[in-house]
Amino acid sequence: MPPAIQKKTKYPAGKVALERALSKLGIASRSQAREWITQGRLRVNGIVQKNPEFLVTPEKAKFELDDQPIGKIEALVLVLHKPKSIITSRADEKGRATVFSLIKEVHAHLSAVGRLDFATSGLLLLTNDTRLADWLTDPKNAIVRTYLVTVRGRVTEEELGKLISGIRDQDEFLQVNEATLRKSSERESHLTVELTEGKNREIRRIFLALGHEVTSLKRVAFGGLTLGELQSGEYRVVSLEEIKAAFPSAPVRPLLKR
Nearest to 20 by CA among 32, 38, 8: 32
What range defines the domain where residue 64 resides? 16-70
pLDDT of residue 111: 85
Q: In angstroms, what CA-CA distances link 32 with 27, 129, 205?
A: 9, 15, 34
* List 66, 117, 134, 138, catalytic entry: 117
Confirm whether 117 is a catalytic residue: yes
Query: Could you tell me if 177 and 164 are in contact, meaning their C-beta atoms sit under 8 angstroms apart?
Result: yes
pLDDT digits (tens, 9 = 90+) for 74-116: 778 999 999 999 999 877 788 888 998 898 776 777 889 988 9
CA 74, CA 243: separation in Å to the nearest integer? 14
Verify that 150 and 121 share a domain, yes or no.
no
The domain tally of the chain equals 3
Cα-to-chain-centroid distance, residue 25: 18
Residues 53 and 103 in one domain: no
Any domain includes 161: yes
pTM value?
Answer: 0.76
**Domain shared by 44 and 110, yes or no:** no
Same domain membership, residue 107 and residue 60:
no
